[in-house]
């Protein structure tokens, strides 16, 4: 089994891959403004690659609670300044966060390999773009959910979403499912989803966990500033890897790569 995004193939089942986060926004919850200028964005993208990430995920729009959404035109304008040069320079697949089909087309036509779809839905418009450009498609659960049935509910939604995407003509190996940590879930819910990764993931599909520096990490650690939550993030992601996560999405790439190597070695040990 593998996850496919254009010319890149990621074999699944033998360990976890690290996806490095690059936010080119002025208002992201953790690192907003640090890489909003094209020169700093390109420099950080190259650093993420050099630190060992297998994939690069670029966000041009904040998804923090309470943010004011950009229009597709505004999102594309932000990407236009940095995305083409980043894709020209790096040698790892590039993912673009968006819920707009227009942005997805722009990203694909400029060489992106994956659409990290944060809409919490499976649309025929996005499926058509994924098919046409042979992109990877990260589909995320975003609905509010809590209580003892949370893991089963998220699993059920992800399974239905994957089936719908396949029915729309997207090959299963181009689909990656994301439980949406922090989206409609409190700290207890996020911890349950991580602990029960093996139960929540859907057989036959790649699975991504992204808990880096999020609120639930802060709540577990006494609410330190966002940039002081990397050790807690590593603990959460390591637990997810040991329970079956195929990809982790992180800010602190160098440290996460080292942690993933140890977790992968533990999985391989006999």
Catalytically active residues, by annotation: 214, 249
Q: What distance, in Å, lies between the first and last C-alpha atoms of the chain? A: 22
Burial class (CB in 10 A: 0-12, 13-18, 19+), 102: middle
Yes or no: say if 247 and 206 are a contact pair by the CB < 8 Å rule.
Answer: yes
**CA gap 30, 80 in Å, rounded:** 22
Phi and psi at residue 84, to the nearest 5°: -60, -40
């Amino acid at each position: 089994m593998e996850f496919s995004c254009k010319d890149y193939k990621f074999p699944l089942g033998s360990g976890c891959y690290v996806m490095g986060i690059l936010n080119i926004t002025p208002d992201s919850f953790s690192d907003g403004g640090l890489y909003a200028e094209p020169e700093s964005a390109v420099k950080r993208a190259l650093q993420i690659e050099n630190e060992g990430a297998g994939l690069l995920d670029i966000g041009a729009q904040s998804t923090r609670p309470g943010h004011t959404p950009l229009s597709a035109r505004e999102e594309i304008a932000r990407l236009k300044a940095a995305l083409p040069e980043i894709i020209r320079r790096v040698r790892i697949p590039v993912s673009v966060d968006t819920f707009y089909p227009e942005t997805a087309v722009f990203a694909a036509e400029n060489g992106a390999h994956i659409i990290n779809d944060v809409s919490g839905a499976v649309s025929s418009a996005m499926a058509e773009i994924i098919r046409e450009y042979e992109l990877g498609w990260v589909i995320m659960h975003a609905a509010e959910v809590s209580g003892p049935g949370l893991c089963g509910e998220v699993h059920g939604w992800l399974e239905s979403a994957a089936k719908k995407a396949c029915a729309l003509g997207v090959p299963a190996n181009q689909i990656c499912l994301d439980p949406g940590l922090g989206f409609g879930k409190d700290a207890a819910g996020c911890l349950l989803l991580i602990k029960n990764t093996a139960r929540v993931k859907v057989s036959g599909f790649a699975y991504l966990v992204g808990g880096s520096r999020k609120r639930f990490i802060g709540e577990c650690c006494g609410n330190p500033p966002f940039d002081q939550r990397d050790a807690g993030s590593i603990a959460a992601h390591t637990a997810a890897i040991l329970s079956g996560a195929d990809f982790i999405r992180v800010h602190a790439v160098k440290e996460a790569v080292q942690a993933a190597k140890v977790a992968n070695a533990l999985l391989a040990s006999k």
